[in-house]
Amino acid sequence: MRIFIDVDVQNDFCEPKGALYVSGSPNDLYRAIVRHAGERAIPILGSVDSHVFDAWEFASSGRAGPQGEKPNFPDHCVKGTHGWLKVEGTLPARFRFVPNVPNLDAEWYASEVVDQRASGLYFEKEVYSLFANPNAERVLEAIARRAGAPLDLVVFGVATDYCVRAAALGLRERGYATTVLTNAIRGITEEGSARALDEMRDAGCRLSTWEELCGSSV
């Protein structure tokens, strides 16, 4: 069962006026992928960076993380703001957001995806990995059980050297067949992106382009 994995395609990362804009974000391609998925009833699972106004990641908060981290990012993806919202045209017709709280009903969310009542699920998270949301792993497992077939996961989004890397490596660590669309991701630095691509390849990810995978362009 093919599923697209949308990593953080949000205004603060993907639009030029965003607080943490990733230069060259291919937003038209992201819209094309979502259209393609909708036309073929392919589910989309995604992550959305979701913060409160005084998140410890923010330089403005003066706070440190649970292990003393102080990344000192500018304020970004504060839930409910324009920067938190998905890029225009990158939400399917029917979608749900999965809160970043433990022990939600994984089987219910899986039924929404497999039975096509909701064609998109977006896991809220505060740090890089999709799996920082405690429900993501359980929902993926439930989808695979309910589908009765191996999952074929296709990753796109930002940023290659941070959240894309974390999502792809997390999927491979859990044994999922994972393809990363190299022309549908963008990174912060060339060096960091090259290292991340090498890591993803070494972990068993297939590296492909949108055109190679689906035989179509934007």
Average pLDDT over residues 115-135: 92
Omega of the bond leading into 147 within 30 degrees of 0 (cis): no
Average pLDDT over residues 69-87: 94
- Which of 151, 164, 176 has its CA nearest to residue 47? 164
Buried b (16+ CB within 10 A) or exposed e, 16-51: eebbbbbeebbbebbbbbbeebbeeebbbbbbbbbb
Kindly compute the dihedral angle of the four CA atoms of residues 98, 137, 184, 186, in this order, to the nearest 10 degrees.
90
Contact (Cβ atoms closer than 8 angstroms) between residue 75 and residue 106: no
Average pLDDT over residues 206-211: 97
3 state SS of 204: coil
Q: pLDDT, tens digit, for every residue of 16-63? A: 999 999 999 999 999 999 999 999 999 999 999 999 999 989 999 988
Band (pLDDT 50/70/90 cuts) for residue 65 is confident
CATH 3.40.50.850 fits 2-49+85-214, yes or no: yes
